[in-house]
Amino acid sequence: MKTVLRKGLFILFLTAMTQGLSAQVIIPGDYAREYYDLLLFKDTSLNKPIVQYPSIVTQFHSKNAPSWNIWGENFKLNGGSSVLSIVDPVLRTNYNSLIPMSYNDGAQWNGRGANLFLSAGVAGRVGILQYAFVPNIQVSQNKDFFIPDTPAGRSEYAYPFDSRIDWVQKYGEGSFTNFDLGQSEIRLIYKNATVGVSTENFRWGVTQFSPILMSYNAPGFPHIDIGTNVPLGTKIGRLEGRIFWGRLVESDYFDNETDNETGFISGMHIGYQPSFFPQLNVGLNRVLNTRWSDGDLSFKDAFALFTKTKGKGAQKNDEYDQMLSVYFDFAFREVGFRTYLEFARNDFPGSVSELFQNPDRSRAFTLGLMKTFELGNERLLSVLFESTTLSTNQLQRLSTGNPTYYVHPWSVRGFTNRGQIMGAGIGPGSNSNFVRVDLYQPEGKWSLTLTRVRFNDDYFVSAFSGQSDFPTDFERTIRLDYVGFFNKLTINPNFSYTYRNNWYYVDENEATNIMAGVNLSYRID
């Protein structure tokens, strides 16, 4: 009897603690991510991030309801302050007819065939301690498709056209199940400062499809971070900054070497919003990536972000794969217009003279434009366009050995974690155009997305120089999404059609892929 009573009291305690509370954790690839980004643009009451866009967004909550929120009770931002909150569970399922299709969905990887993904967990706060435990599990049918021969010493499922990047094309033979800690963290928050241990995904900047340095494309990696929790308000404007140190893991489908299975990554960002021009956000981002084997790391590696690193041996500045970007975001909320730019360098000049002579060496950039239109009856139309160029300037490539993004001779895994690229998911040397039109209304939204990707021009130019055939590998995708609210259940069916030509640079190798899926989430009130 006492056991039954204890169980009953425990259940009542959990019910009392969690009733009416849902933590604000956004799973990469979920429809809520796009809406939250829009809410940050439209709302005037939130202490908005400047550069870093986390998945665990509790720290950016307002004590009051947002001043703009078409979805009302279907998207709350006033939770996450209780001792124990339940995170809304998310279930996704889809089917790819021929080609694996995965962009910006974190630990999820959608192979050919059927795919299932489930995320759920708890979060809360006790004093200055904030925590989240939101793991996920995935099951993939992972059916076969043609992959060209890979470089010597690499897995048959590795990227065929460069031996210096762990970009998995297929996760082994047959179906697989994968467990991931997902959006989990333990964090101390005191006033505007924070220090945390986390595996959450985060993105730098508002770029939706192809952020260059940090995106939602790969699984999150375990890391320690320290910096501002929310931007600091000063007389000269709002300031934000954070530093992180993390551990990367090689996939099981790269090589048989044992001394390069883990990697060390460190990064920092600084964000500034001028008080005299609050429509502008400016960011400076830097990432260092190197191998992590016995004896490779020392205490100085923790501070390499703040130094001019020198290489092991004769190669100066090549001890790390280093990337730097500057970010500009102009948001004119009164007229519903935003434009943004991320400009990056993948290699550093040897001198000031070389910088002025070759300012476009190792450059990459993403340009974005967004316009919103108020249609009345609480409806809003949003039109977004993005263009990303990762391919190098070919004149610079021929004259100065311009490096390709996300690959590096020292960090042989490339800029990846568990086989997926942490930056733009289109991959090294690639270019993309992205257009998305969203119609938001109180009962949900409709979305139409058009995407064009041309893959790895850097490899193509080198491999096919002087030939009469030009089999550029490119794909075009059209996608339709619907989000509908049915009491506490949200249903998000989606359908896309992809045409890919010269797949893997095989002339006239045409392929079409149909992806059909449905995402379900249940709101915990």
- pLDDT value of residue 4: 45
Each of the 525 residues of the chain gets a pLDDT tens digit; together they read 555 445 443 433 443 344 434 457 899 999 999 999 999 999 877 778 999 999 988 655 656 667 788 998 888 765 556 788 889 999 999 999 999 998 999 999 999 999 999 999 999 889 999 999 999 999 999 999 999 998 888 999 999 998 889 999 999 999 999 999 999 999 999 988 999 999 999 999 999 999 999 999 999 999 999 999 989 999 999 999 999 999 999 999 998 887 778 889 999 999 999 999 999 999 999 999 888 876 667 777 777 787 765 544 444 456 778 899 999 999 999 999 999 999 998 866 555 555 556 666 778 999 999 999 999 889 999 999 999 999 986 655 555 566 789 998 777 789 999 999 999 999 999 999 999 999 999 999 999 999 999 999 999 888 887 676 778 999 999 999 999 999 999 999 999 999 999 999 998 899 999 999 999 999 887
Distance CA 428, CA 222 (A): 24
Can you read off the two tokens belonging to residue 61?
């909550």
- pLDDT value of residue 21: 42
Residue 332 CB coordination number (10 Å): 10
C-alpha distances in Å from residue 292, one per residue of 120, 154, 156, 229, 411: 32, 20, 24, 29, 9
Say how many CA atoms lie within 13 Å of 354 toward its Cβ: 10
Distance CA 269, CA 23 (A): 26
- pLDDT value of residue 232: 93
Chain centre distance of CA 176 = 23
- pLDDT value of residue 514: 97
- pLDDT value of residue 208: 93
- pLDDT value of residue 2: 52
Residue 3 CB coordination number (10 Å): 7
Say how many CA atoms lie within 13 Å of 329 toward its Cβ: 22
Angle CA 139–144–145, to nearest 5: 130
- pLDDT value of residue 9: 39
- pLDDT value of residue 198: 97
C-alpha distances in Å from residue 238, one per residue of 57, 205, 234, 276, 382: 18, 16, 6, 11, 27
Distance CA 49, CA 55 (A): 12
Distance CA 83, CA 30 (A): 25
- pLDDT value of residue 525: 73
Distance CA 247, CA 292 (A): 8
